[in-house]
Structure 1
């Protein structure tokens, strides 16, 4: 993919940083990507067309934004650091279908943003190199608000990506895996070495695609209760399901009632949280709810 800008080259990135006297803020987790092949993989994974919309979070100096502008019909880039806004407006001036917002995405009303910015496009994907310190809150907000999203393609810390895509039984599998897989189908796209950023981060990164589900893979009577039960089962990973649930829901009584409910759900009390599938958690949650355990 070629274009006017090629902001992502190391030379151009350094030129832009110097021209505007930009200083990186460690507190905002700023690491600018300088590898065009990785950018191509990110954009390709989103499957954008001229009738698609793209929401970018944390555009930095616009390296990925520029690629998105070449691929999508409308791009909205939300940047928390107001020092970057004039840089973005300058480097993205050739692309009138790109809108730059100075906002904290965790504070933004996303339903309103989608209604305002993406009314004329067919499908919207989130495509971003997310700041690692707020990866999980941002992704959970995007998923929980049930936005009209097709894909979420993000570069995040490698270990977090592996947890999101993990299957039951492994040490990576946990409450984050279950939450992400309830709302989406995760797929690792590629591993990204730390050497392709300015400045280099302390960790390896990965690109993950979350294909947003139209309906969850399991049906539950109460979503909030389902996620509370999942959290309870992972309170202490080394403890059994029975011990974690007893501490959370039955602190002042014996184990008899709990073990009867586990038997009703078809779950052995000695199992640990990481061994249960989404379906088993759905069944367990519904059994506890029906028994008035909330």
Structure 2
């Protein structure tokens, strides 16, 4: 009867229970056998992924919000000098000022907040996150559609679905499979810094839903003839729904409408 007490539904705890899966995720987080200078792990849990990430890092900060698990983690990694177990909420952490990566088995209920934290961190190089599969597919365009968050961040961040994890690889078993999302900050943004404000305004206007189509929404801020010309240059049907427009087409629309 003691075992269920270790699981917190409030914290959305679903621990990785398969060594091969943990090794696979670690390879996705640190590809090609490289070592990263600093890696922050979200939700270290019982340390399954931590153990696989540690050899790939010069320094690993393993964050765990559940105070019941922290002593076990510290005992397990007491002889692993590059691992520092940090008790508390990852979202309360101030992002490092030097380049760093993020990886982790993200609590499904906190995915959006953790992704936002990563996108705001200016020194982040990449984030490899285990999320609900539906979230991973939506954010990376795997359904053939794109979300506001992905398109808005696209000039600075590349989003990819790099893996799918069967739900039976977790304990307790969640209701859905997981996906591995990799978000990489571009070394060279696709737009100049001065253009990013107008980019965000354009994308948010397009996703506003006014008029029922992207074409109708953009006409709120641009003359129809310019929107028509931009759609012709981008080879977009004026009736296209906003979610059906890939990020590279958005870049062409931005170029045409801001020229």
**Could you tell me the TM-score, scaled by structure 2's length?**
0.82
Residues 1:108 and 2:93 are matched in the alignment: yes
Distance, in Å, in 2 between the alignment partners of 1:203 and 1:163 is: 15
1:100-179 paired onto structure 2 within 5 Å: 100-111=85-96, 114-115=97-98, 124-149=100-125, 151-166=126-141, 171-179=144-152
1:1-294 paired onto structure 2 within 5 Å: 18=3, 22-45=5-28, 46-47=30-31, 49-50=34-35, 52-111=37-96, 114-115=97-98, 124-149=100-125, 151-166=126-141, 171-179=144-152, 181-219=154-192, 221-236=194-209, 239-245=212-218, 249=220, 258-263=223-228, 265-266=230-231, 269-282=238-251, 284-285=253-254
Distance, in Å, in 2 between the alignment partners of 1:239 and 1:212 is: 32
Q: Is contact 1:164-1:177 (8 Å) kept?
A: yes
Q: CA deviation at 1:78?
A: 1.8
Q: CA deviation at 1:98?
A: 0.8
Q: Is contact 2:157-2:184 (8 Å) kept?
A: yes
Higher Rg of the two aligned structures = 1
The gaps in structure 1 that reach 5 residues or longer are 1-13, 116-122, 251-256
Closer/same/farther in 2, CA of residues 33 and 51 from structure 1, 3 Å limit: closer
Distance, in Å, in 1 between the alignment partners of 2:106 and 2:201 is: 26
RMSD: 3.1
**Could you tell me the TM-score, scaled by structure 1's length?**
0.73
The gaps in structure 2 that reach 5 residues or longer are none
